[in-house]
């Protein structure tokens, strides 16, 4: 639902967990999915736009990110770094899915870089746990591969558990 006040036009977004957010139109239009929806359905502004793939927690963080990025143009990089560092790994992965669904390119790129930074120079086991991947190899096959490629495991950082 879009409403007009003396200051700014608002758009109402409804999350997957049925929470409604009134968002400044300028912020909502940064979400390409929302912008496309309203471009294709100009009369849809009377009802809240459903976001079936976005939780209230994620949308709240995304709105905060977009507002802060707009106001901190000179220091946007520092804000983005701190924004990603404050998230645990599960929240980070959920935010990536939401940013991808909403098609917010700069947020998605920043979050993907944060994941790359978190798994950089980590062990195979850490990366598997991070992404929830089970090994395709038997213990014997994995031991053989590790022995044949021992150089690849030199200097790996110790794993931290933030799962």
Mean confidence (pLDDT) of the chain = 88
- Please tell me the pTM assigned to this model: 0.81
* Domain segments of the chain as ranges: 2-119, 124-153
Task: Yes or no: say if 107 and 58 are a contact pair by the CB < 8 Å rule.
Answer: no
Which H or E run includes 23? strand 20-24
d(C-alpha 103, C-alpha 119), whole Å: 24
So what's the pLDDT on residue 6? 46
Q: What stretch of H or E contains 64?
A: helix 56-71
**Residue 117: C-alpha distances to residues 120, 121, 134, 154 (Å):** 5, 9, 22, 18
What pLDDT is stored for residue 150 in this prediction? 87
Block residue for tokens 């990366």: 127
pLDDT at residue 5 above 50?
no
Which of these CATH numbers, 3.40.50.1970, 3.30.710.10, 3.50.50.60, 3.40.50.300, describes 2-119? 3.30.710.10
Per-residue pLDDT reduced to its tens digit, 120-147: 999 888 999 999 999 999 999 999 998 9
CB-based contacts of 23: which residues, under 8 Å, 6+ apart? Answer: 10, 11, 12, 13, 63
Mean pLDDT of 103-117: 95
Range of weakest confidence among 29-33, 42-46, 93-97, 144-148:
42-46
């Amino acid at each position: 639902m879009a409403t007009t006040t003396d200051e700014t036009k608002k758009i109402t977004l409804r999350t997957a967990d049925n929470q409604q957010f009134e968002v400044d139109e300028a912020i909502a239009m940064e979400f390409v999915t929302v912008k496309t929806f309203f471009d294709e359905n100009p009369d849809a502004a009377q009802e809240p736009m459903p976001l079936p793939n976005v939780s209230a927690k994620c949308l709240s963080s995304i709105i905060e990110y977009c507002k802060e990025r707009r106001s901190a143009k000179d220091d946007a990089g520092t804000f983005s770094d701190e924004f990603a560092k404050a998230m645990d790994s599960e929240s980070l992965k959920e935010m990536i899915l939401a940013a991808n669904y909403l098609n917010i390119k700069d947020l998605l790129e920043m979050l993907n870089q944060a994941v790359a930074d978190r798994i950089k120079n980590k062990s195979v086991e850490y990366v598997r746990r991070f992404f929830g991947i089970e090994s395709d190899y038997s213990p014997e096959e994995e031991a053989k591969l590790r022995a044949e490629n021992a150089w690849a495991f030199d200097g790996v950082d110790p794993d931290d558990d933030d799962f």
